[in-house]
């Protein structure tokens, strides 16, 4: 019986191509197929390091046949590397679906750790605490975005998310309405030539953003500790929120409840 191949989940640079790891390069040079979010974007990295492999696009619009083709190749004993345009696959991108299918098919999945905009931003934020909430990209529709802000940005802990240039100012204003003048950090183009960090109260950050050019990729951290406003949650809503927050942070539910509601219950 033929052994199945392995799926390697390979982190790639979030901007600076020198941030690639030696292990990542070794894996990319030895696999049979590289599954890319955007083959054009990935070719920039691969050509930089002289890597020529069979590439297959795999993105949020890929159909079931593409996933079936990759799983079929793995079952035939081929090795596949999964990479995203920037950072670690499965973190706010569609890579998790292939991983889930591979695990369900009994295929070995191997992480090859490396750059992540999330970890990069948190490491230089200076925000202390026992954890933070990461919500990926803010929802694109206004209603869903407002619900997400009320759900996460009133928690008594830092919230980290990605946002597009077009929606950044509106999102920051909505967070100020929900969480007050919390401390915020906005990271623009991390590790790239035009990297910039804006830090201050939300109003200060908004003012500096308005005075500049809003363009590129943004990672945002809002330190909501002690600034969350009482949003009038029912007992059922509180239980649901506590369960969700405990799952994301790994904290005990009782500790989460104390952090969320200890002030409003007094």
Residue 245 belongs to some domain of the structure: no
pLDDT digit string, tens, across residues 140-156? 898 999 999 988 987 88
In this prediction, residue 36 has a pLDDT band, given cuts at 50, 70 and 90, of very high
Residue 261 belongs to some domain of the structure: no
Domain that includes residue 210, residue range: 118-229
Which two three-digit tokens encode residue 146?
């407002």
Q: Are 128 and 112 in contact (CB under 8 A)?
A: no
Q: Are residues 109 and 130 located together in one domain of the fold?
A: no
DSSP state for residue 15 in the 8-state scheme: S
pLDDT at res. 261: 63
Number of independent structural domains in the chain: 2
Residue 252 belongs to some domain of the structure: no
pLDDT of 180 higher than 90:
no
Q: Are residues 79 and 30 located together in one domain of the fold?
A: yes
CB atoms closer than 10 angstroms to residue 148:
19
Residue 106 falls in which region: left (phi positive, over 0), alpha (psi -120 to 50) or beta: left
CB atoms closer than 10 angstroms to residue 97:
14
How far the first Cα of the chain sits from its last, in Å, is 66
CATH of the domain at 140: 3.30.950.10
Q: Are residues 149 and 190 located together in one domain of the fold?
A: yes
CATH of the domain at 36: 3.40.1010.10
Taking residues 54-78, what's their average pLDDT?
A: 93
Q: Are residues 16 and 104 located together in one domain of the fold?
A: yes
Q: Are residues 68 and 127 located together in one domain of the fold?
A: no
- Tell me how far apart the alpha carbons of residues 226 and 212 are, in angstroms, rounded to a whole number: 30
Q: Are residues 101 and 182 located together in one domain of the fold?
A: no
pLDDT digit string, tens, across residues 82-132? 999 999 998 888 789 999 999 999 999 999 999 999 999 999 998 876 689
pLDDT of 234 higher than 90:
no
Reported pTM: 0.78
Kindly calculate the radius of gyration of the chain based on its CA atoms and give it in whole angstroms. 21
Tokens 């299918």 locate to 101
* Average model confidence (pLDDT) across the chain: 88
Q: Are residues 103 and 145 located together in one domain of the fold?
A: no
Q: Are residues 10 and 111 located together in one domain of the fold?
A: yes
Torsion angle of alpha carbons 31, 37, 38, 44, nearest 10°?
-50
């Amino acid at each position: 019986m033929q052994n199945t191949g392995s799926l390697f989940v390979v982190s790639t640079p979030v901007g600076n191509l020198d941030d690639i790891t030696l292990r990542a390069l070794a894996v990319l040079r030895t696999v049979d197929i590289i599954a890319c979010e955007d083959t054009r974007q990935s070719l920039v990295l691969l050509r930089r390091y002289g890597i020529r492999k069979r590439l297959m696009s795999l993105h949020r619009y890929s159909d079931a046949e593409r996933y079936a083709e990759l799983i079929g190749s793995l079952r035939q004993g081929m090795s596949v590397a999964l990479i995203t345009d920037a950072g670690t696959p499965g973190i706010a991108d569609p890579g998790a679906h292939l991983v889930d299918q591979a695990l369900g098919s009994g295929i070995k999945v191997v992480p090859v750790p490396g750059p992540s905009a999330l970890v990069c931003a948190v490491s230089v934020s200076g925000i202390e605490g026992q954890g933070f909430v990461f919500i990926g990209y803010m929802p694109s529709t206004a209603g869903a975005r407002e619900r997400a802000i009320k759900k996460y940005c009133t928690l008594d802990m830092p919230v980290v998310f990605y946002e597009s240039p077009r929606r950044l100012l509106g999102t920051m204003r909505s967070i100020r309405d929900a969480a007050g003048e919390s401390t915020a950090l906005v990271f623009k183009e991390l590790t790239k030539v035009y990297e910039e960090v804006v830090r201050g109260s939300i109003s200060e950050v908004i003012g500096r953003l308005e005075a500049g050019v809003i363009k590129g990729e943004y990672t945002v951290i809002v330190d909501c500790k002690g600034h969350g406003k009482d949003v009038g949650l029912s007992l059922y809503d509180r239980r649901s929120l506590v369960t969700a927050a405990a799952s994301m942070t790994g904290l005990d539910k009782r500790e989460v409840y104390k952090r969320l509601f200890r002030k409003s219950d007094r």
